[in-house]
Chains A and B, each alone.
Chain A
Amino acid sequence: MGDPSATPPPELPLPSARVLLVGVLALVAVVFLPTLWFGFVYDDHWTLLANGFLRCPEELALLLQPEATARHVPDASRPVAVAFDVLSVQLLGARPVPHHVLSLALHVGCTAALAWWLRRRGVAAIDTAVVAAIFGTLAIHAEVVAVVSYREDLLACGLGLLAMIAADAAARDGTTGRARALALGATAGLAALACGAKLSAVTLGVIWPVTARLGPGSPLPRWRAPTVALLLGTALALAQQQHVLGGLSPYEAQAGIHAAGFSRAAVLAASVQIHLGYVQQMLLPLGLSPEYVDAPGSWRDAATLMGAAGFGLALAHAIAVRRSRPLWTAVAITTVLAWLPTANLVPMPNMRADRFAYGPSVLVAVGLGAALLSAGRALAQRVGVPAARLAPALAFVVLQGAFAQTAASAYKNDARLWEVALQRAPESARAHALLGELAIATLRRGGEDEGDPVVWARAQAHCLRALALAPGDALPHLCAARLAVARKQWSAAHASFEAALDRARAREDRILMALASVTLDVPELPYAERIARVDALLARALREFPYASEVAAAGGRLLHRLGRPAQALALYQRARKLRPERWDVALWGLELALDLGDAAAALTLWERGEDLWSEADPKLVDAARSRVYDAQRLFADSPPLEPLPLIDLLPELPPDHDLR
C-alpha cells in the first residue's frame, strides 16, 4: 500500500474509486444501523440530558474561562465537544434517535476522512476501500458509536484526520504562497479543534511527520512547516486547557481515583496488559466490555513481561526495517504515539475503555489493510483466482462487523448495559451499585404498595456487594442511601448520603440534592436544624452547580415544601430552562399554583402543559386533573395567597393550538 503506483491487477475488474468508497461507507452505516433505536445511556445523562449548560447557548463564551471549571460545566476540559453538544441539543432536542443518527454520521464521516486522506496520499482505490472498511467495522468502535456522549472521540478523530489532510496539502511541492499559508493556518486550527474536542489528539504533531516521511503513500518533501503548524495548534489547545483548568490533566482534581491510589509501577504494569488486550481485541474482538475493573498490575507477572517484551521487539523490528518496510515502521510508531495520551501515564478515572482505541485504530486499520491485502495477493497467486485477493479482508470485515453488532447491543439501555457490564466484570462495584439503583427505581415506580420481594432482594444484594467491593467509592453508598429512602429509613439514608458525599470525587450535585431532601425528614434532628442544613446544602449546590438541572428542580421542590413560593417558582423556572422536557417540574409548578389558591393560573398551566402530561406518570396526572377541577369548583373567584407570575412557567400555546 505504501507504493502509490500500485494498481489492482487487470484480472480483477473494479468499479470507480467513488463507487467503491460510497459502497464501503454504506456498509459501515448498515453495520451500526441498529444503534439508531438505542436510548441514552452511561454518561449521556450527565453530559447531555441533565447538563443545563447545553440549554444556555448565550453563555458559550464561558468555555474559554476558568469559570467553566468553577461552575462545574460537564466536560469543561473539552470545549469543542461541549460547543458541538450545545449546537446539537439546540437543533435536535433531547430525543435519542436524532442524536444516534448524528453519532453514526460522525463515524461514517471519520471513515470518509480516512479514505480521503489515503487517496490524497496516492494510495490505490481498492487499498483505500479495504482500509476504510476495516476501520469502519472494527468491533472495538461499538462503544463510541452507540453511546452518544462519546462522540468527543469521533470529533477528535475526524478533526485530527482533517488536520492531517490540511498538513498534507501544505507539504506538497505544488502548494505555494497564499494557498500554502491557508493550508498551514487550517492545519493549526484543525489541530487545536481536535485537541479541544479531546486531548487524546495531543500527539497529532508527532504522528503526522512520521507518516509524512514513511507513509502511507510517497514521502512528502516539505514536512517541517506543517509539523510546526500542528504543534502550534496543539500548544494553543493546551494553553487554553491550562487557563481553564489550571492544569493539563482534567483529572488532577480527582485525587481519589483508583489509578492515583496505585503505585506508578503497578499502573504501568497493568497498562501493558491493557494495551495487549486492545491489540488482541482489534485482531479478534473477544472480551469487549462496557466496563473494566481498575486493578494494579505487577512487573513480575508473565503477561506483563511478555507483553512489554513483545511491544518492545515489535517496535525495534519496525525501526530496524524502516528502509525496506516503511509502512510497517510508520504504523508501529504512530500507533504507540496515538495511544500515549490514554496509556495511564497520568492517572485517569478509567484505566481501560474501548473508546480509547478509536483514534489509534486509524493507524492500526492502515496496517491491517496492508497485511490482509498482502495475504490476499499471495492467496490469489496460489489459487489463481484474482478475486481471492480480497478474500482475507472481506472475511476480517465480516468477523469484525458481526462482533461490532453484538458489542453494540450492550448499549441499548442502561439496564442492559450494566447487566452486560456485570457479566464481563463481576467485581465491578460501579456495575453493582448502578444495577442496585436501577432495581430501586423499579420499586419506586411501583407506587405505594410493597413491591416485588425479589426486586427488593436484588437491590439489597447489589448495594451490599458494591459496598464490600469498594467501600471508599461514592456510588455504593449512594446505592445504600437510595435503598434506605425506598424503605423510608430516613436516618440511615441521611448517613449513607453523607458518606457518599464525603467520598465523591466529581458530580456531587445529585448527592447534595438527595441529601438535602432526606435531611428534612430525619427525626433525630430538631426541625430548625434540619432547615438550616437544607439551606446550607442548597446554597452550596446552587453555587457550585448552577447548570445542573437536578439542582434547580429538586431545590425548587424543597423550597416549595418549606413554604417559600417565590423562591420555589424562581428555581422551577430555572429548571424548566435547563431541562425543558422534565414534566415533573411543570407538574410541581401546577401544584404550587394550587397550593397558593391560584385557580386561574393552575388551569392555564394545565392547558399549556398538555404535551408534557402525555409523558408523565398517569397517576400523578390524574391527581393533578382532579385538583385543577376542584380548584375551579371551590375557589375560582378567591384571590391567591401570594400573587406570582406562575403561568410564565410554561410557554403560551400558539393561537391555533387545539385544546381538548
Chain B
Amino acid sequence: MAKEATAPTLYTVAAPPHWHCGRTVTGVMQQYILALVPAAVMAVVYYGLPALRVMALSCATAVAVEALCCRVMDRESSVDDFHAVLVGLLLAFLLPAMAPWWLVVMGSALAIIIGKMFFGGLGGNPLCPAVVGWAIVALSWKTQADPDAMVLSTMLVNPLTQLKYLGLEAAGQVSLTDMLLGRQLGGLGATQVLALFAGGFYLISRGLLRCYVPLAFLAGVLLAGLAFSLADPGAQPGPLFHLFTGSVVLAAFFLATDPSSSPVTRPGMVAFGLTAGVMTVLIRVYGIYPDGTPFAVLFAALFTPVFDLLRPKPFGAR
C-alpha cells in the first residue's frame, strides 16, 4: 500500500498531563546556587581568597566524589543536576575560611557519600547532606572546624562564643547592624545574614522555595529567644540576637528546606520549622555548643516521618 511507502510521522505518546510548569531539578539547583552568590561574594569580601579557596575546593570535591560514586554504583551520572555543587557550597558556608584543605575535602566527600549517595542519591537522603558532612568533621576535628580557633587574622568576633563564655555584656559589643552585614565571626557564608535573606526571598518570590519552613524556623527561633530573654533578661539576649547570629538564616532558607529531608504537607512543614527553630535556641542555652543550628536541623529532620503524618483528610473522607 502507499501508506507503507512513506515513513509514518512519529508523535510523542505520554501520560497526561501534557503541560508542565517548567520547573526541573537542574533549574531549581541552579537558582539555589544563584541565590547563594551574594553570600559567597560577601564571604570573599570579609575573608579574602581563603574563603574562595574553601568554597571552590568543597564544590569540586563534591562533584568529583558524586561522579565517582555513580561510577562505583554503576548508574547514570547525576552530577549534571548541580545538586552536588549546591551541597559543596552549603558545606563551605558552614566551615571557617581558614579550614585546612583536608578538612574541606573530608567534609565534602562525606557529605556526598554518607549524606546522599548511601541512600540512593537525591531524594533518598533522610538528612540534609551538607549538615551531615559538617557534623562529622565538626565532631571529629573540633579545632580545625571551629572558626574561633582557625580564623585568627581578623578583628571580627563571634557573638555566640562571647555570650557562651563571657556573658551577655561581651556579646553586646557586636551591634545588630554589624551582624546583619556579616561583621561577625563564624562559618564563612553562614554569617552573611543580609545576603542570605536576599537569596532566600529571591527563591520565595520565584516560587522555588515554599515559605512555610523558613518562616516557621525563624518564628521558632524568635519565640524561643523571646521566652528566654523574658525569663532571664540579665543573662539572655533578645530574640533578634539569636536570629542574626550563627547559621540560623542559612539553616532557615537553605539547610532545613532540603526537600528530601523535610516534610511535604503544610502543617508538617510548619511543625518541622518550629521544632528546628526552638531546638536551635535550646541547644544554645542549655547545650555545650555556642551555635546549635545545624544540630537542630538534623534533630528536626529525624522527625520528618512523624511530621508527614500531619496531613489533611483526603477529599470526601469523614
A and B are partners in one complex rather than unrelated chains: no
